[in-house]
Amino acid sequence: MASFIGTGMNKGGNSRRVDELTSPFLDSLDIAGYNYASGRYPLEEKAHPNRIVFGSETFPQDIYKNWKMVEKYPYLIGDFMWAAWDYLGEAGIGAWSYNGGMPFNRPYPWLLSGAGVVDILGVPDVSCRYAAVVWGLCRKPVIGVRPVNHPGVRPSKSVWRATNAVESWSWQGCEGNKAQIEVYARAHSVQLLLNGKSLGKKRLKDYKTIFNTRYQPGTLTAIAYDEKGEELSRSELRSATGPVCITVKPEKQSVRPGEIVYVPVSLTDADGVLETNADRALTVQVRGGELLAFGSANPCTEERYDAGRFTTYQGRALAVVRAGERGNILVSVSDGKQNATAEIAIAEK
């Protein structure tokens, strides 16, 4: 329902009646913000030549065409897609689910909106990387892989999430499963290689294209080319190899007394390559500080952020710790079989 409402707003915003009703108050503002009304952007050049506007809330899949209009029309000063950072509430509004159901206000135990292009742990996703490509902030190809650990299952999609692809080519136990790979780049064309073998070369439309193959571990390489066929840049994703271990890397090595520090926890191989498909329940303990929260970016779970125990999601979790008054903070994370620790110094006042 919400998806239809959003799309309807985009179309309805173009009507003369809507313009008549909104003009009295929009014309009194220094800047007019349009929610899901990007269809009005080109109309304002003639309809309201003195009005300054911006997209205050728009769909993430529209970022390319919306940003092209930002670059074209001087009165259009920006566009904000919904949403940047994921959040609690509006449960499932942006979720792609393999368990069926319609998006928006999903029932318990759904917790997160799933709409953020930065997850609740602070990790940018592929949609965020695509935005960076569109804005000219990313010069290398971005590779996104739709989850390959749900063979034969079609996800229910949401208009508030353009894709559920992740930047990972490490899917333990998924050999032979169908894999859909998205590549984003400011280039004329892109070639994709799997373990050195070309999967083809494709033209990019709106800075993106899609390849299909079967998952096999190794190295996935994207090479971007200009119109002359000369290489512009390349990037790659690698699969984790060997045993998966718990990695604990605090964002800071030294903090002030009472300061809050974030401690990312991930499941990686010995070289630090993230394993996306080996999630497990982890327990965290803290000495020299206070554990404020521990959790993952899983949008649907009955686990509690204040319990000190949580299951990783796509290989990641996060501990939030408040430093004590002196000495060191020791963060210990365990899955019951292996243990990993990190130490953070507490600086003197």
Query: Going from the N-terminus, what domains does the chain have, and what CATH number goes with each?
Result: 2-81 (no CATH), 126-238 (2.60.40.10), 245-346 (2.60.40.10)
**Which H or E run contains 78?**
strand 76-81
CA distances from 326 to 210, 249, 253, 342 (A): 53, 21, 14, 16
Q: What is the pLDDT of residue 274?
A: 99
Q: Which three-class secondary structure state does DSSP give residue 38?
A: helix
Would you state the pLDDT for residue 331? 99
| Per-residue confidence (pLDDT) for residue 348, from 0 to 100 | 84
Q: Provide the pLDDT confidence category of residue 8 given band limits of 50, 70 and 90.
A: confident
1 pLDDT more than 60? no
Cα separation of 47 and 32, whole Å?
14
Quick check: 6 pLDDT over 70? no
User: What mean pLDDT is predicted for residues 97-122?
Assistant: 88
Answer whether residue 184 shows pLDDT above 80.
yes
Q: Write down the pLDDT at residue 13.
A: 81
| Separation between Cα atoms, residue 328 and residue 349, nearest integer Å | 14
For the chain, give the percent of residues with pLDDT over 70: 97
Q: 58 forms bridges with which residues in the sheet?
A: 81
Question: Does residue 3 come out as left (phi exceeding 0), alpha (psi in the -120 to 50 range) or beta?
Answer: alpha
Could you tell me the two tokens for 218?
């190794």
Q: Hey, is 134 helix, strand or coil?
A: helix
Structure token digits, residue 157:
């999609």
Q: What is the rounded distance in angstroms from the CA atom of residue 72 to the CA atom of residue 259?
A: 45
Residue identified by tokens 């401690």 is 263
Q: What is the C-alpha separation between 312 and 172, in angstroms, rounded?
A: 15
Amino acid type, 15: S
State the pLDDT at residue 12.
Answer: 78
The structure tokens listed for 76 are 């259009």
What does the pLDDT read at residue 214?
99
pLDDT tier for residue 169 given thresholds of 50, 70 and 90: very high
CA-nearest of 128, 113, 185 to 162 is 128
Taking residues 161-170, report their average pLDDT.
Answer: 97
